[in-house]
Every structure is written in C-alpha cells, then in structure tokens.
Amino acid sequence: MLYILDTADTEKIRRYTYYFPIAGVTTNPTIISKEKRDFLPLIKEIKGIVGDSRMFHIQTTSQDADKIIEEAKALREIIGEKLYIKVPISQEGLRATWMLKERGFNVTETAIFTQQQAMLAATAGADFVAPYVNRLDNIVSDGVNVVSEIVQMFKLNDIKTKVLAASFKTVEQVHKIAMVGCQSVTVNPDVLDQLIYHPMTMLAIDDFEADWKTVYGNKSILDLIKE
C-alpha cells in the first residue's frame, strides 16, 4: 500500500514522514489555503521535507488546458521530477492530461466520482486517478464500491494507471479500500493517527513495561547486556 499524506501543514509533514512509511504528499487549493501562507515558500518548504524520493502532488488552479500546462511547467522548475500535477476531471482537464503526458509530466486526475471518469482519465494517460470516497459516502453513494469497480475495470483492461483513493474520514473506509485491492490512499494526519491507534495495543505495551519492571526495575536490555 502507498500511504500518502493529504496536508500542507509543514510541521505535520515533518512529523509524519519521520514516523510513518509515507510515499508522498498531496495537496489541493483548499488544503493549501488552510495554511494561510505565501504559496512559493510553502511549496518549497514541503519539497525540502519530502526530499527527492517522495512524490509531491500539487493541483493546478487554472481550468484551461493551456494555462494548466503553463502552471505545470512553472511548478516543475521548482519541484523537479517527483512532481505530480493534479488535474480535476473536466473536458479541459482531460485535454491537459494528455498534453502533460506528451510533455513528460506525471499526472494525477482528481475529483473522480464515477468509474467512467476514471476510465477516461486513464485513457488520456493519467498515472493516478483519485476517487473521493468520503464525499461519495456523504451523497449516499458507495465510495468503496466505486473504488472497487475502478480497480476491477483497470485490471480487466490491463490498464497501468494506479488508483489513489482520497477523501477519508474513517479507518473502516481505508480498510475496505485495501480489501478491494486498491494500491494507494491519501489520508490526512488525523486519519493516519486513527489507523495506528488501538486501546488494546496501548494496554499491551503498558503491561509489558509493568511486568518487565517487576523483575528488572528500570534497567533496559542494553543495561543488562553491558553489566
């Protein structure tokens, strides 16, 4: 599973890339706006944290294909090879997708709500498609089922585009995504915290520590080996 961090909060990116096996960062205009910072220093700082080995997905703000290309070119000057241009699906977005691919860009087609949007994006050459699970659930659709059908459809048709499931609120949504064979998720830090937490795990760790101390006190394994 590729776990990607869905935030532009640099402190959180620093913290979560330190602890978790994070493959990259995704942003969108809403996520960027929340930081209330100048755009250029913000994306440079994020790039500095994620480094050259992790992906950095940045969404363009223009809704015109030619302008999307110009934004992408300017972003690539700053971010380099691991930049993924996020393009919301639309006619201009689709045109921008194949034009970006012709120019050697990585592309993530975003704001995907249906299976056929995903198919069109993949056919245009997108590297990732990002279906919005929780937003689908919120409109009494079934986010997991949409992702499941996109995964199956790509498999059946031998399509290499990856499914980057997005928009999560619960552990259950992330788990069900994994159970339908989806290869990648982008989750915000709160959901990542929920994914690792279980009260029984905390209890088990406390019990291990208490039992150890009844015999060895505050000495660690290293203390005992070096004695």
Active site (annotated) includes residue 169 = no
Nearest approach in angstroms of CB 91 to ligand E4P is 20
Q: Which residues pair with 162 in a beta bridge?
A: 128
Q: Tokens standing for 190?
A: 């709160």
Residues that bind ligand E4P (CB under 6 A): 6, 26, 28, 110, 130, 132, 134-135, 166-167, 186
Residues in the chain: 227
Q: Is 20 helix (H, G, I), strand (E, B) or coil?
A: coil
**For residues 135 and 110, is the Cβ–Cβ distance under 8 A?**
no
Query: Which long-range contacts link 32-41 to residues 24+ away (Cβ below 8 Å)?
Result: 32/8, 34/8, 34/9, 35/8, 35/9, 35/10, 40/78
Nearest approach in angstroms of CB 192 to ligand E4P is 13
Nearest approach in angstroms of CB 57 to ligand E4P is 7
Q: Which residue has the tokens 């993924």?
A: 84
Q: Which of 187, 180, 129, 163 minimizes the C-alpha distance to 4?
A: 187
CB nearer ligand E4P, residue 26 or residue 161:
26
Separation CA 102–CA 95 (nearest Å): 11
CB nearer ligand E4P, residue 33 or residue 157:
33
117 sits in which H/E element: helix 115-123
Nearest approach in angstroms of CB 183 to ligand E4P is 15
CB nearer ligand E4P, residue 56 or residue 132:
132
CB nearer ligand E4P, residue 15 or residue 135:
135
Of these residues, 47, 86, 162, 176, which one is catalytic?
86
Supply the residues annotated as catalytic: 86
